[in-house]
């Protein structure tokens, strides 16, 4: 089968192919890759300061220790349950973990306050108690500006 296309269509296909090639070549420079950081590396970027707990509500500040803007900080807040008799614990532990995302941007060297209240509320059992919750950084987005 012989297919004949017009010169105008051939030029159009050529131009489209060249444009697609340019876009694909530039693509790595247009997108930024995600990087996984260890707990220690994340600690050099962000710290949790002024941590306070009252009636299971956790408040504090997230401090940005970098020269870049940080946003979409996700915390890992864990409420560990201690049984009165740890040798004979109950069937279902009321321990709980949450991953709240804190809204807002944190400028370089600045901090952002946060407040978290578990929902649904923590169990109110008489067969033990909750430890002081642990709070750590689970994730964040670091905004880079090319050329800085």
Which helix (H) or strand (E) covers residue 92, if one does? none
CATH number of the domain enclosing 49: 2.60.40
* 91 pLDDT higher than 90: no
User: With contact defined as beta carbons under 8 Å apart, do 136 and 51 qualify?
Assistant: no
pLDDT for position 15: 60
33 lies in some domain? no
If one counts the domains in the chain, the total is: 1
Q: Could you tell me the residue range of the domain that residue 98 belongs to? A: 39-143
30 lies in some domain? no
pLDDT for position 126: 80
Which helix (H) or strand (E) covers residue 38, if one does? none
Tell me which residue has tokens 């600045």: 110
21 lies in some domain? no
pLDDT digits (tens, 9 = 90+) for 70-90: 999 999 999 999 998 888 777
* Percent of the chain residues topping a pLDDT of 70: 68
Averaged pLDDT for residues 8-13: 64
């Amino acid at each position: 089968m012989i297919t004949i296309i017009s010169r105008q269509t051939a030029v159009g296909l050529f131009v489209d192919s060249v444009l697609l090639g340019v876009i694909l070549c530039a693509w790595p420079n247009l997108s930024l890759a995600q990087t996984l950081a260890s707990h220690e590396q994340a600690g050099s970027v962000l710290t949790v300061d002024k941590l306070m707990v009252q009636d299971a509500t956790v408040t504090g500040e997230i401090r940005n220790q970098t020269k870049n803007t940080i946003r979409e900080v996700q915390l890992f807040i864990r409420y560990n349950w201690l049984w009165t008799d740890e040798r004979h614990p109950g069937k279902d532990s009321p321990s709980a973990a949450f991953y709240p995302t804190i809204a807002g941007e944190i400028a370089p060297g600045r901090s952002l306050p946060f407040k978290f209240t578990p929902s649904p509320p923590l169990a109110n059992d008489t067969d033990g108690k909750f430890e002081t919750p642990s709070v750590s950084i689970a994730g964040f987005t670091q905004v880079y500006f090319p050329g800085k």
